[in-house]
Amino acid sequence: MLGIADYLWRLIPGNPILLRVVENAGKKRRDMVIRCAYLGLLVTVVLFTLWTSGENFGDLAALARESTDLFQKMSRLQLGLVALLSPIFTAGAITQERDSQTYDILLATPLTNGQIVLGSLLSRVFFVVALLVSGIPIFAVTQIFGGVAISSIVYSFLIAASTAMVTGAMAMAIATFKIGTRRTIFSFYLFIIVYLVGGFLLDRVDFFHLKYIDASGVPVHTSTSWMTALNPFLALRVIFKDQGYMPPNLADLPEGYQSWPMNWFWTSPATFYFGFMFFLSFAMMAPSILLLRRLAQTTTSLRSWVLQKVGLSKGDRTRKPRAVWHNPIAWREAKTKASAARATFLRYGFIVLGMTGAVVLLVMHSNEQTPKQFINHSYDPSKNTLYIEGTGLPEIPVAPSVEVKIGDDPGTIDDLNGRYQVKNYTLDANQAIATIDLDEFPRRLPSADARSWLLGLTIVEFSVILLIMANAAASAVTREKEDGTLDLLLSTPITSRYYIWGKLRGLVAFVLPLVAVPVASVFIFIVHDVFRWLAARDASFDWIVFPEALITMPAMLIIVCAFAAILGMQMSLRCRTTVRAVMSSVGIIVGACAAMGWCGFAVLNTSGSISSELGVAIGSFSPFTLLTILIDPYEYAGSAFQHSAGTNYDPSGARIVAFVVCLVALAVYALGIWSMYKAMVKNFDMTIRKQSR
Amino acid sequence: MAAVIKTVNLTKRYGTLVALSNLNLEINEGDCFGFIGPNGAGKTTTIKILATLLQPTWGEARVCDYVVGYQSRSIRPLIGYVPDYFGAYEDMVVQEYLEFFAAAYNINGSQRNKIVSDVLELTDLGYKRDALVDGLSRGMKQRLSIARVLVHDPKVLLLDEPAGNLDPRARIEMRELLKELRRMGKTIVISSHILPELADLCNTVGIIEQGELLYSGPVADIVKRARAGTVIVVGVVRAPEQAAALLAQHPDVDAVAPNNGFLQVSLKNGVQDFSFIASQLIAGGFQVNLIREEEVNLETAFMRLTKGMVQ
């Protein structure tokens, strides 16, 4: 009995690995700064909310409303910070085995697998949990005003804590199964971002919501989705009791969803989220605990084994040499980074997924659905009759003064000899067609939806490319500093100009195949539209993507990638460690894109104060706004592209403005790259010398 | 012979720490110069300055008459630098690694292929041409480092502990390779802690401690300098205490000390002739089975000249 108690005591409270971290907690200056910044942010939110509140605090109901608003803001901020900080504090576990010699020493001690795994995990999660605990007094402010249930606060903390826990468990599992390298840390961050953002976006797609007929026979479309119980931000939204985002009642759910665990999943997504995440953490840790020492004894990592099985790696540590370019620095950046088995897998994965997505969109868009009633070149001018399929009627006479409408535009009697969906028609006293509303055949994916999906696809692809570029550029110099190869290069005749230019050229060449994916996606739509346009010969033809995108889009994407590369290299040159350089450059690039995108969209949607063409002109400077103008201007690019009913509109003016300004923007980006490049060349020796010890 | 490397009052400070202090050094063409000193003595700093990777705080360093710092670009094609670690690139095979550095020296086309093949043959790495650099053994990596600095046929090789952490066979192979390079006329500056090998390889050495050069010159001279006086090792069949007492009475003997069953007889300064030892012992009835002059090697010289102080 004492043995079990002693084991349990040594497993967590008396775990020497955890104790070392807990005892030293708070002594590090960096940790203190982060803790102060975290609490400072929470306090700022409280003060700002109270200051900007228009509520009358003499009214208890108003106080409660204010308190609810405050709680929601703080919870979102808390979860956002935990989601941001957890990977930072736990990702280090991935390369722990390689970087630290202490791992082998720990394995050689009498510590059990459980003590080592739980000690390592909890010591990494400890800081985030300590942050959460330190925020409790600030959350307690809401209890003074009322309006927020204590259970909501507890749930909010549990959602944040389980998010931190599952992040840490994932990092530990990667470390134990030896599938991690330094580069895995970046993939780990990327996975978490994609999971959080992806879940949030998928929640907006109708497909992921439950549709059923409730007990009273009313069709129900749930506001929560399959993503709600799996995404912390969506689960958090549920505990806010937002009327627009309420989980369904148990009694209303279809029969198949009334048993455990589906009933829990749908009716209480918040508790399911943290319950499931704690379980998932345990499930990921269990194999690590069981197999830790056995896996440590193996000479082949799981990653190598998988790569060998899928034929991406032979495992024999040899291969045919490739030709080295005239500029070896550029060659190294472009070729050796991309040739590693994992990088090959990711690149091909990206290309295959991106192109598959585009082709699926195109197929869905080009696939017409047969409407209930339609005409198919069935107008007989000699008899002046029209056969409408789907009505079950024979040929119907057409009144000479028939009013034809195609979509929102007026048509002529000759249009009846086309191929259109018949939305409606009326007969006059002679039983002849007096008015007829026609429209294009409906598509499985209508043009507007095709544009939205294509825009979303290209924006996601370009965001991933930018993140990959930021990571590659930020590690370009620091990795050479860390492994000592920079000194070897600096003792050769390679000049700083040659070195930086080679890096820049190589990095751009490295992402070119990736940039080709969104460009090719757009290209296939343009080719498809060209054939449609040739068939239609219509000046006001609605392009899914404007053809000039084939010039402006690749040019803009490449120049922005080059800009991200030079920015990342700047950080890489200044920072001593790769992790710091990557974090800084990713932060700057994400911040810059967010700011530019926000400004661009704000300008595009501004009406009245500036002309719509000027909005398009300013918007064309931002890559994401330019993508929007090129792909889905009707939805997002303001009145310059708005199609008013009954008007013969022509957006060519706005298109010319966007094209010309895009060229100017390219020149501005190129100038920025050039000036940063010159500055880097000038300061290279000085910066490197300062860092040499 | 012309000095290929020359330093004048070379000083390097890192903040308040003086890594090098007024180092004056001259290494002639074709010399193999061994740089000896305790850890932190300033060997790596000196080599890094000569490799144009560091700027001196004070003083001047010249390589082939070009001044480090002002004419570094002219120096770089003339030197080959091997640091005390192996700078490995991920996912490169041996041939690519050498071609990469050949391209860095602007060697391209068919000339590059030929040179890389020649260097692989010279360093006996031809059969490892397709092997990933990451997977090579430490000895192979060191040999590849030497191969790397040979692709551009430099006049001067700056080698910072090239034999560190190598097994005996790899060390011997490395020494033979360096001897071959010396025969090819390269000027070699090598720092190492393995003094017997330096003594075998180098014709000149420099001993540095706490950033100050204690000695620089031919190996034979340092040994002579380290020897304070002549020491004779004497073996007698029995009663070594009485033999020691007898020898101590001689006017030319400074001291007699027992050592592992033998007697170490230190002669007074200026006394070179030790024939009296045998005659005196025989006259005293002792049976002598050994008389030889004690050798002073580089290790002994190093221990006598340095104090073991580190910064």
Q: Per-residue pLDDT tens for B97-116?
A: 999 999 989 888 889 999 99
Give the residue from B202, B225, B248 where a domain finishes: B225
Tell whether B39 and B178 lie within a shared domain: yes
Is the pLDDT reported for residue A607 higher than 60?
no
Tell whether A403 and A388 lie within a shared domain: yes
Top-ranked range on mean pLDDT: pick from A205-214, A240-249, B180-189: B180-189
Task: Give the lowest-confidence range in A459-473, A480-494, B219-233.
Answer: B219-233
pLDDT at A12: 77
Tell whether B209 and B233 lie within a shared domain: no
Give the pLDDT confidence of A17-35 residue by residue, as tens digits: 788 777 776 677 777 888 8
DSSP string, A7-59: HHHHHTTT-HHHHHHHHHTTTSHHHHHHHHHHHHHHHHHHHHHHHH----TTS
Tell whether B192 and B219 lie within a shared domain: yes
**Higher per-residue pLDDT: A483 or B237:** B237
Tell whether A385 and A521 lie within a shared domain: no
- Per-residue pLDDT band for A645 (boundaries 50, 70, 90) equals very low
Give the pLDDT confidence of A423-458 residue by residue, as tens digits: 888 888 888 888 999 888 888 888 888 888 898 899
**Higher per-residue pLDDT: A637 or A372:** A372
- For residue B283, what are the domain limits? 228-295
**Which of B95, B96, B111 to mutate against chain A (most A CBs within 10 Å)?**
B96
Tell whether B170 and B71 lie within a shared domain: yes
Tell whether B173 and B258 lie within a shared domain: no
Top-ranked range on mean pLDDT: pick from A154-163, A679-688, B264-273: A154-163
**Higher per-residue pLDDT: B90 or A586:** A586
pLDDT at B228: 65
pLDDT at B80: 93
Alpha-carbon distance B1 to nearest alpha carbon in chain A (angstroms): 26
Query: How far is CA A413 from its chain centroid?
Result: 49
Give the residue from A439, A459, A490 where a domain finishes: A439
- For residue A125, what are the domain limits? 2-148
Structure tokens at A448: 């507007």
pLDDT at B154: 93
* Residue of B93, B100, B108 with shortest CB distance to A319: B93
Tell whether A547 and A678 lie within a shared domain: yes
Phi-psi label, residue B285: left if phi above 0, alpha if psi -120 to 50, beta otherwise: left
Establish if B302 belongs to a structural domain.
no
- Per-residue pLDDT band for A1 (boundaries 50, 70, 90) equals low
Q: Mean pLDDT across the stretch A580-604?
A: 79
Establish if A92 belongs to a structural domain.
yes
pLDDT at A383: 84
Quick one: closest CA in A to B75, which residue? A493
* Residue of B73, B79, B83 with shortest CB distance to A487: B83
- Per-residue pLDDT band for A537 (boundaries 50, 70, 90) equals low
Q: Mean pLDDT across the stretch B17-21?
A: 89
Tell whether B20 and B112 lie within a shared domain: yes
**CATH number, residue B275:** 3.30.70.100
Q: Mean pLDDT across the stretch A390-399?
A: 84
3-state secondary structure at position A219: strand
**pLDDT cut 90: percent of chain A above it:** 19
Tell whether B242 and B112 lie within a shared domain: no
Tell whether A426 and A540 lie within a shared domain: no
B281: closest CA among B268, B262, B294?
A: B262
Is the pLDDT reported for residue A300 higher than 70?
no
Q: Mean pLDDT across the stretch B207-223?
A: 86
Q: Mean pLDDT across the stretch A275-299?
A: 84
**Higher per-residue pLDDT: A220 or A304:** A220
Tell whether A406 and A518 lie within a shared domain: no
B90·A319 Cβ contact <8 A: no
Sign of the alpha-carbon dihedral angle for B186, B190, B54, B212:
negative
Give the residue from B170, B198, B225 where a domain finishes: B225
Tell whether A411 and A457 lie within a shared domain: no
- Per-residue pLDDT band for A342 (boundaries 50, 70, 90) equals low
Establish if A140 belongs to a structural domain.
yes
Chain A residues touching B135 at Cβ < 8 A: 317
Average confidence score pLDDT of chain B: 87
- Per-residue pLDDT band for A599 (boundaries 50, 70, 90) equals confident
Sign of the alpha-carbon dihedral angle for B56, B58, B63, B64:
positive
pLDDT at A314: 64
Establish if B108 belongs to a structural domain.
yes
Is the pLDDT reported for residue A553 higher than 60?
yes
- Per-residue pLDDT band for A544 (boundaries 50, 70, 90) equals confident
- Per-residue pLDDT band for A646 (boundaries 50, 70, 90) equals very low
Interface A:B, Cβ pairs < 8 A: 97
Chain B residues touching A494 at Cβ < 8 A: 104
Establish if A181 belongs to a structural domain.
no
Establish if B58 belongs to a structural domain.
yes
**CA–CA separation, A145 and A68 (whole Å):** 9
Tell whether B109 and B219 lie within a shared domain: yes
A24: closest CA among A12, A32, A34?
A: A32
**Higher per-residue pLDDT: A175 or A136:** A136
pLDDT at B309: 54
Tell whether B208 and B128 lie within a shared domain: yes
* Counted domains in chain A: 3
Indicate the length of chain A as a whole number: 693
Indicate the length of chain B as a whole number: 311
Tell whether A349 and A383 lie within a shared domain: no
**Which of B14, B97, B99 to mutate against chain A (most A CBs within 10 Å)?**
B99
**CATH number, residue B60:** 3.40.50.300
Establish if A428 belongs to a structural domain.
yes
* Residue of B14, B83, B94 with shortest CB distance to A484: B83
Give the residue from A424, A439, A454 where a domain finishes: A439
Average confidence score pLDDT of chain A: 82
A493·B99 Cβ contact <8 A: no
Sign of the alpha-carbon dihedral angle for A624, A627, A633, A638:
positive
Q: Mean pLDDT across the stretch B30-52?
A: 91
Asked whether the beta carbons of B223 and B202 are under 8 A apart, the reply is no
A693·B130 Cβ contact <8 A: no
Q: Mean pLDDT across the stretch A679-692?
A: 82
Task: Give the lowest-confidence range in A518-532, A627-641, A646-660, B240-254.
Answer: A646-660
Establish if A319 belongs to a structural domain.
no
Quick one: closest CA in A to B99, which residue? A324
Which positions in chain B have a beta carbon within 8 angstroms of at least one beta carbon in chain A? 14, 48, 51-55, 73, 76-77, 79, 81, 83, 85-96, 99-106, 108, 129-132, 134-135, 148
The 8 Å CB, 24+ separation contacts for B104-110 are B104/A328, B104/A329, B104/A489, B104/A492, B104/A493, B104/A494, B105/A492, B105/A493, B105/B77, B105/B151, B105/B152, B106/A493, B107/B151, B107/B152, B108/A326
Q: Mean pLDDT across the stretch B141-166?
A: 89
Tell whether A434 and A464 lie within a shared domain: no
Tell whether B53 and B189 lie within a shared domain: yes
* Counted domains in chain B: 2
Establish if B122 belongs to a structural domain.
yes
Q: Mean pLDDT across the stretch A265-278?
A: 94
A689 at the B interface (CB within 8 A)? yes
Establish if B143 belongs to a structural domain.
yes
Amino acid found at A582: V
pLDDT at B192: 85
**Higher per-residue pLDDT: A20 or A486:** A486
**ipTM for this prediction:** 0.76
* Residue of B52, B93, B102 with shortest CB distance to A318: B93
Establish if A302 belongs to a structural domain.
no
Alpha-carbon distance A92 to nearest alpha carbon in chain B (angstroms): 21
3-state secondary structure at position B22: strand
Radius of gyration of chain A (CA): 30
* Residue of B48, B90, B131 with shortest CB distance to A340: B90
Q: Mean pLDDT across the stretch A452-465?
A: 89
Asked whether the beta carbons of A225 and A203 are under 8 A apart, the reply is yes
Give the residue from A148, A183, A206 where a domain finishes: A148
**CA–CA separation, B9 and B31 (whole Å):** 21
Tell whether A340 and A475 lie within a shared domain: yes
Tell whether A509 and A417 lie within a shared domain: no
Is the pLDDT reported for residue A182 higher than 80?
no
Tell whether A409 and A468 lie within a shared domain: no
Establish if A392 belongs to a structural domain.
yes
Tell whether B144 and B239 lie within a shared domain: no
Establish if B307 belongs to a structural domain.
no
Tell whether A506 and A601 lie within a shared domain: yes
Is the pLDDT reported for residue A673 higher than 90?
yes
3-state secondary structure at position A429: coil
Chain B residues touching A325 at Cβ < 8 A: 103
- Per-residue pLDDT band for B235 (boundaries 50, 70, 90) equals very high
Tell whether B213 and B236 lie within a shared domain: no
Q: Mean pLDDT across the stretch B180-200?
A: 88
Establish if B269 belongs to a structural domain.
yes
Establish if B300 belongs to a structural domain.
no
